[in-house]
Amino acid sequence: MKSFVEDTIVGISTKLGTSAISIIRLSGPKAIEYVNSCFKGKNLEEVPSHTIHYGYIMKDGNVLDEVLVTVMRAPKSFTTEDVVEVNCHGGIYVTLKIYELLQNLGARIAEPGEFTKRAFLNGRIDLTQAESVMDVINSKNDQQRKVSISGLKGNLKQYIEDLRHNLQFLLANIEVNIDYPEYHDIEEITEEKLLETVKEYIPKMRNIIHLSQENLNLKNGIKTVIIGRPNVGKSSLLNALLQEDKAIVTAIEGTTRDIVEGEINIAGIDLNLIDTAGIRDTEDEIEKIGVEKSIELIDQAELVIAVFDSSQSLTDNDKEILDRLKNKDVIIVLNKNDLESVLKKSDFNFRNVVSCNTTTIEGLNELKDKIKSMYYNAELDEENTLLFSNVRQISLAKEVLQSLESAKHGLDVALPIDLVSIDLQNAYEALGQITGESYDDELLDTLFANFCVGK
């Protein structure tokens, strides 16, 4: 997979702005030469690898800045090429002047993610690790960080490589058994042994895909719809969660006629909140459209927070709402528990029922605790987090699972083993696409286009 690149790239690896330091990174065969030609200090071409050197960056005999230069020689660097990092003062002007100087000396401006792309092409990391680099940078909470670090350390890579190795062993032996039945020193792959092996892989792959999909939902934010009839406190709940007056709150029924949105993080869990129009029978044409939107959003939501006024008995509109919540992730909120309650938790045949109010800071604690208990997995850590991290990986993993299940079905109905091996080969190839054993240039360009320029 070695790329044999001939050019040297340069990029600013820190955010451009006023800060203590900026880091300008170079990678390629002339990285040390280019920096050495404008560096006043030790001769960088003679210093040992993985050392830091104090000096000055010079231009036309004048000092541009006082710097520290890190030298990392191939192949023991992130890209496996010669890598040099110039640590200069963090002003925008001085950073850009050094950046421009290094370009004039011959370095090419790095494309987004090109340092990581070179690490992949040069065999330093696989595609799952490359994607985890950006996942670490974009992590918004501790769970995302743990999953990203696990991928970066190669846990997913190792699992896939082990599975591919086992499939490769089965495929090789099947082929030998078919083509050279007289070779008795080759292990015979019987239908029973093959079925036993395939059945072992299917449940774990299915479980990893399920957990990965849940994690992806958390990563993108859970689409959370707040529903209820008018004046049960939906907008007050939204405002209290966001800690701002986002939605208009009045005692007049039908005040909320269109959706109101906001984002909140609860214990590391991102919720994309949507407050909806109160669901009721109405003759007002504009309000009626709002009610129809509310009903549509129930089907689209990943989490529904259904709000009821605990000081009032259930109405026909309340019962209609409850009928629409079957087979959904739902939290029933008995709001206004600061008033005398008529409704009790036992009145609802739902697993997640909380009692709260929006009049005090502590009034929503039970709701927040319930959200945390539904979505936060405290068992995740860097050592055992084995998840696919994005849509591309999950889609390919589903192809792997489908091929394994197809192979199992073929064995169950006694298909010839050479036909079953086709499904195993498909699984093997899909696993290779996850790690980047096979890829196309367009895929790489798309993946790395979202990276920072200096990463």
What domains sit in the chain, N to C, each tagged with a CATH number? 9-110 (3.30.1360.120), 154-215+385-450 (1.20.120.430), 221-375 (3.40.50.300)
For 110, the token pair is 């790095």
Closest CA to 41 of 50, 28, 31, 32: 32
Cβ of 393: how many Cβ atoms within 10 Å? 23
Query: β-strands 260-266, 269-275: how paired?
Result: antiparallel
DSSP H or E stretch at residue 199: helix 191-220
Closest CA to 26 of 101, 86, 89, 94: 86
CA distance 203 to 306: 34
Closest CA to 243 of 144, 333, 363, 375: 363
Cβ of 32: how many Cβ atoms within 10 Å? 26
- The 8-class DSSP code of residue 425 comes to H
CA distance 52 to 70: 4
3 state DSSP class of 388:
coil
Cβ of 187: how many Cβ atoms within 10 Å? 12
pLDDT of residue 247: 42
CA distance 47 to 294: 67
Secondary-structure percent of the chain, ordered helix, strand, coil, rounded to 5: 45, 15, 40
DSSP H or E stretch at residue 36: helix 31-36
Closest CA to 135 of 125, 147, 123: 147
Q: Who's near 177: CB < 8 A, 6+ residues apart?
A: 186, 188, 189, 417
CA distance 408 to 198: 6
Burial of 133 (0-12, 13-18, 19+ CB in 10 A): buried
Report whether 389 contacts 157 (CB < 8 A): no
Q: What is the pLDDT along the chain (455 residues), one digit of tens a residue?
A: 444 467 999 999 998 888 899 999 999 999 999 999 999 999 999 999 999 999 999 999 999 999 999 999 999 999 999 999 999 999 899 999 999 999 999 999 999 999 999 999 999 999 999 888 888 887 777 777 777 888 888 889 999 999 999 899 888 878 876 655 555 544 556 677 788 888 889 999 999 998 888 778 777 778 888 888 888 888 888 888 887 654 434 343 444 434 567 788 887 778 888 877 666 555 455 555 566 676 777 888 889 998 899 998 888 888 888 888 888 889 999 998 888 888 889 889 899 999 998 888 788 899 999 988 888 765 554 445 688 888 899 999 999 999 999 999 998 898 888 888 899 999 999 999 999 988 777 878 888 887 777 77
What's the CA dihedral at 290, 336, 266, 383 to 10 degrees? -120
CA distance 259 to 371: 22
CA distance 76 to 48: 12
3 state DSSP class of 354:
strand
3 state DSSP class of 440:
coil
Residue 285 to residues 135, 226, 289, 445: CA-CA distances in angstroms? 46, 22, 6, 49
CA distance 82 to 174: 45
Residue 291 to residues 72, 282, 447: CA-CA distances in angstroms? 63, 9, 41
CA distance 5 to 360: 62
Report whether 311 contacts 356 (CB < 8 A): no
Q: Helices in 324-449 by DSSP H: which ranges?
A: 365-375, 391-412, 417-435, 441-448
Cβ of 244: how many Cβ atoms within 10 Å? 10
DSSP H or E stretch at residue 62: strand 62-72
**pTM for the whole thing?**
0.71
- The 8-class DSSP code of residue 125 comes to S
CA distance 42 to 38: 11
